[in-house]
């Protein structure tokens, strides 16, 4: 798999990443092992997780597989802190007092002495930005993280954080931002992507298939084993099943038919090669689904198809 630089850093990552949001919750240890094997065999390196995924269970699963399925130096480990989940409850804490101990717990669960990329999971108005960013500085200077980034920041928040880090002497520059981005949700193109480009941040895109909607699986209804049938994911998927979403999905399906591809491949190829995108983060339920997504590595959309999809998906 081709590698790309993460922003203006020396960190090189695979241009498709492996997401682990459901690991330890819906994805058990056997399925997780199969997914990581498939990802590594395809040349993938970027494994993205978070302290909140499965309340730490995802990190524990990854930790149990490193050194067994893959060597530590064969993966780029990325995790996040700042979002705390307990069952159905959700709490945001981006204070230095929470973030640094959370990183230590992540390292323990992962079984490593450092992560390659540590990200603030969400923005918080309750904590001064300088305090949050200071935690990122300390993570790097203490050797617990090699690079740092942000996640789910708006355009002005991205610019504010990145400018502060690059302008103040002694600060550690941000490497990346992680945002939701796909053919059905292109809002980040207005402010976030221009800010990232201007300030040298790599972009990691989560939900690249809009919860599976862009695979075309919901064109004839809701499959019983799909994410839309899962109460935890249902609202995310339903947001895309409006007239606009159906129109985009039909356009993707027509492009796929014409190319002899799958809708999944069309949607992923479009996103992977968008200006500024370093890597989409793939979250699959099964290893078979992941292998199908990884097959896009060999494909490149014709320019005329890209333009047609740009036009039909423009909001």
| Assigned token pair, 173 | 């520059």
Q: Which residues contact 304 (CB under 8 A, 6 or more apart)?
A: none
Tell me the C-alpha distance between 3 and 149, whole Å.
19
Question: Which H or E run contains 148?
Answer: strand 145-151
Q: At 181, phi and psi to the nearest 5?
A: -160, 125
**DSSP 8-class letter at 166:** H
Distance CA 247, CA 235 (A): 19
CB 141 within 8 A of CB 103: no
* SS3 of the chain: helix, strand, coil, percent, to 5: 45, 20, 35
Q: What tokens were used for 108?
A: 């323990």
Structural contact between residues 94 and 120, judged by C-beta atoms closer than 8 angstroms: yes
Question: What residues are labeled active site?
Answer: 53
């Amino acid at each position: 798999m081709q590698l790309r630089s993460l922003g203006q850093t020396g960190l090189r990552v695979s241009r498709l990443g492996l997401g682990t949001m459901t690991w330890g919750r819906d994805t058990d240890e056997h399925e997780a092992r199969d997914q990581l094997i498939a990802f590594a065999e395809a040349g993938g390196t970027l494994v993205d997780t978070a302290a909140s995924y499965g309340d730490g269970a995802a990190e524990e699963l990854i930790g149990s597989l490193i050194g067994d399925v893959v060597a530590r130096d064969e993966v780029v480990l990325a995790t996040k802190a700042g979002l705390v989940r307990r069952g159905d409850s959700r709490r945001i804490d981006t204070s230095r007092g929470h973030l640094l101990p959370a990183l230590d717990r992540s390292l323990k669960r992962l079984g490593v002495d450092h992560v390659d990329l540590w990200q603030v999971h969400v923005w918080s108005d309750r904590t001064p930005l300088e305090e949050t960013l200071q935690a990122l500085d300390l993570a790097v200077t203490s050797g617990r993280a090699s690079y740092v980034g942000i996640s789910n920041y708006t355009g002005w928040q991205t610019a504010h954080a990145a400018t502060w880090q690059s302008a103040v002497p002694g600060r550690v520059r941000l490497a990346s931002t992680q945002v939701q981005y796909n053919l059905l949700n292109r809002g980040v193109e207005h402010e976030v992507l221009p800010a990232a480009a201007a300030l040298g941040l790599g972009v990691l895109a989560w939900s690249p298939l809009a919860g599976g909607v862009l695979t075309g699986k919901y064109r004839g209804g809701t499959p019983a084993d799909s994410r839309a049938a899962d109460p935890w994911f249902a609202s995310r998927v339903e947001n895309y099943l409006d007239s606009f979403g159906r129109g985009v999905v039909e356009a993707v399906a027509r492009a796929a038919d014409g190319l002899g591809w799958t809708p999944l491949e069309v949607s992923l190829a479009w996103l992977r090669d968008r200006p500024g995108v370093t890597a989409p983060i793939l979250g699959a339920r099964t290893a078979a689904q992941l292998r199908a997504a990884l097959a896009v590595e060999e494909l490149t959309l014709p320019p005329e198809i890209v333009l047609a999809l740009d036009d039909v998906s423009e909001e």
